[in-house]
Amino acid sequence: MKHLPKIILFLAVFISLSACSEGPSFSSIEKEFTASIQRTNKWPVDINEVKVLGCEKATGKPGYICDVFVDYKPLMGPRVSNTNTFRFISVQEGWMPTEKIK
């Protein structure tokens, strides 16, 4: 019990530092990517899933390279379900996809 306050302090510092990593969080990328899909389609889109599979720091350019799985169905057109790689950069609102890598 004597060391409990030190353990709690250590855990609080560790958690707050891990939350402040310089890279994008998966949830922020998923949120922005979902909004991007909605903005780029003329008709309503039923988004089933957007999932970030992994990210790494981009080399030679700013941002991060992330693999993103998407599964959605536009009102007009076939269902889309695939994995692509995008470069994301940090903007004031969060993380924005800037280019499709493959």
Domain presence at residue 5: no
Residue 7 belongs to a domain: no
Distance CA 89, CA 51 (A): 17
Q: Is residue 17 part of a domain?
A: no
Question: Does residue 14 sit within a domain?
Answer: no
Phi, psi for residue 8 in degrees, rounded to 5 = -65, -40
Residue 1 included in any domain: no
68 in a structural domain:
yes
CB 31 within 8 Å of CB 47: no
Inside any domain, residue 11: no
Q: How far apart are CA 56 and CA 63, in angstroms?
A: 9
**Domains held by the chain: number:** 1
- Domain with 75 in it: 23-100
**Domain presence at residue 87:** yes
Of 30, 23, 71, 22, the residue nearest 52 (C-alpha): 30
Average pLDDT, consecutive stretches of 10 residues, N- to C-terminus, the chain (102 residues): 42 37 80 83 86 94 94 89 94 86 78
- State how far the Cα of 49 lies from the Cα of 53, in Å rounded to an integer: 12
- What amino acid occupies position 90? S
